[in-house]
Amino acid sequence: MTIKNVTILGSGIMGHGIAQVSAMAGYKVFLRDIEQKFLDKAMEKIKWSLQKLAEKNKITSDKAETFYSNIIPMVDLQAATNNTDLIIEAVPEDFKLKEKVYGELNNLVKKETIFASNTSTLPITELSQLTNRPENFIGVHFFNPPQLMKLVEVIPGKETNEIIVKELTNYVKSLNKSPVICNKDVPGFIVNRIFIPLVHEALYALERDKVSKDMVDSAVKFKLDFPMGIFELADYTGLDVIYKASYEMNLRDKKVLLMHPKVKEMYDGMELGQKSGRGFYEYKGENYERIKLTPEKATQYEPSSILGVAANNAAWLIENNVCTLEDLNNALKLGMGLKTEIFELVKKQSPIKIVNRLKDLEGRYGDFYHPHKYLEDLK
């Protein structure tokens, strides 16, 4: 089958971006949400993004208009899905909600249509069981902002047909993005298994090390070469996404992250980050905004616990054959913008120092920090 028409379910941060990059690759796109007002907002964001790309001469203004007109916003689920080859579900990360969505789709959509989920953390095999086509079901996980981030994790479930893996890999390549196959359907896949726990760890750092958010973020940016600080990135991603992803991962595997209660508090209090005007930092509006981080502030904090937790989860991925070292490095470079490879960062700071830091944390705060053998063996 050749994919021509694509339907994206959910027009939030990820959904509207996936719709846009699909339209930019020549697909006809149906963008579906439950209310027109969500679609209007999504289409505004798409217009803004296309204009930005035109300003930077990445596309012409004519092309921007064509791409925009190739996206058809729709509320009617049946109309949005009855003439499509691929449905990418990008609704909020809530298992019950996804169960409802797939329940509706099962009865509406022709059997050949591929179902893909942009879930950030939910197991693909579990989701596939909610559908009447587990062999035609796969995970395709994009990164925020999909318009700029080159990585897409492709996650086959237990029953996913090999042909579907190929089809989806080709679709991802046609978007001019790099697919990385996640060999095992583990909570958080590759990148979120590293990123999401860092939000909790950065919160613990504030209390344990008595530092400020912008000191931690500046250190992460200027000492670890991340493009954004952890709190900045959490606000940019949305505390709703972070909380739901944390909850779902923690439910399935206690070793992924050490929950900090502040994340749920912020979610309950609607302090969602950039999208609500307030998260770890304050924002003027919903538009793209950056936090002022400086090399001077970075000198005031040593982010060894943050690096330790990231590298330890990376070590777990390698030890458990979830991905190769090459794929891990590629994923962190293209999905999180890391300029230096994670184990190179450890080597720069000294592996013994990082392992000892983890052992010290293990002594004080428990087994979560126990260093994995791969990290202990790093020279």
Q: Which residues bind ligand 3HC (CB under 6 A)?
A: 49, 52-53, 120, 143-145, 147-149, 192, 195, 227-228, 233, 237, 241, 245, 288, 290, 335-337
Min dist. Cβ of residue 295 to ligand 3HC (A) = 15
Query: What secondary structure does DSSP assign to 19-54, as a single string?
Result: HHHHHHTT-EEEEE-SSHHHHHHHHHHHHHHHHHHH
Strand order in 178-181's β-sheet?
A: 71-74, 28-32, 5-9, 86-89, 114-117, 137-142, 151-156, 178-181
Q: Which is nearer to ligand 3HC, 85 or 217 (CB)?
A: 217
Min dist. Cβ of residue 243 to ligand 3HC (A) = 11
Structure tokens at 12: 């939030």
Min dist. Cβ of residue 120 to ligand 3HC (A) = 3
Q: Which is nearer to ligand 3HC, 228 or 258 (CB)?
A: 228
Please answer whether residues 127 and 157 qualify as being in contact, where contact means their C-beta atoms are separated by less than 8 angstroms. Answer: yes
Please answer whether residues 156 and 135 qualify as being in contact, where contact means their C-beta atoms are separated by less than 8 angstroms. Answer: no
Q: Which is nearer to ligand 3HC, 88 or 358 (CB)?
A: 88
Q: Which residue has the tokens 């390698």?
A: 318
Selected catalytic residue, list 89, 117, 118, 153:
153
Q: Count the alpha carbons within 13 Å of 84 in the hemisphere toward its beta carbon.
A: 26
Could you tell me which of 155, 256, 260 has the C-alpha nearest to residue 207?
Answer: 260
Q: What amino acid occupies position 50?
A: L
Q: Which is nearer to ligand 3HC, 159 or 289 (CB)?
A: 289
In sequence order, what are the beta bridge partners of 89? 9, 117
Task: Return the DSSP state at 190.
Answer: T
Please answer whether residues 11 and 33 qualify as being in contact, where contact means their C-beta atoms are separated by less than 8 angstroms. Answer: yes
Whether 161 is a known active-site residue: answer no
Between CA 376 and CA 379 the distance in angstroms is: 8
Instruction: Return all residues near 159 (Cβ < 8 A) that are at least 6 apart.
Output: 125, 128, 134, 135, 137
For residue 145, cis peptide bond before it (omega within 30 degrees of 0): yes
Between CA 182 and CA 162 the distance in angstroms is: 14
Q: What amino acid occupies position 361?
A: L
Min dist. Cβ of residue 9 to ligand 3HC (A) = 16
Q: What amino acid occupies position 196?
A: I
Min dist. Cβ of residue 326 to ligand 3HC (A) = 20
Q: Which is nearer to ligand 3HC, 64 or 358 (CB)?
A: 64
Selected catalytic residue, list 22, 192, 246, 329:
192
Structure tokens at 13: 């941060």
Whether 106 is a known active-site residue: answer no
Whether 120 is a known active-site residue: answer yes
Q: Which is nearer to ligand 3HC, 128 or 237 (CB)?
A: 237
Task: Return the DSSP state at 185.
Answer: -
Min dist. Cβ of residue 376 to ligand 3HC (A) = 28
Selected catalytic residue, list 120, 128, 218, 305:
120
Whether 83 is a known active-site residue: answer no
Could you tell me which of 306, 362, 364, 334 has the C-alpha nearest to residue 175?
Answer: 334
Min dist. Cβ of residue 240 to ligand 3HC (A) = 10
Q: Which is nearer to ligand 3HC, 64 or 355 (CB)?
A: 64
Please answer whether residues 335 and 317 qualify as being in contact, where contact means their C-beta atoms are separated by less than 8 angstroms. Answer: no
Between CA 136 and CA 102 the distance in angstroms is: 13
Min dist. Cβ of residue 108 to ligand 3HC (A) = 26
Q: Which is nearer to ligand 3HC, 244 or 297 (CB)?
A: 244
Which residues carry out catalysis? 120, 141, 153, 192
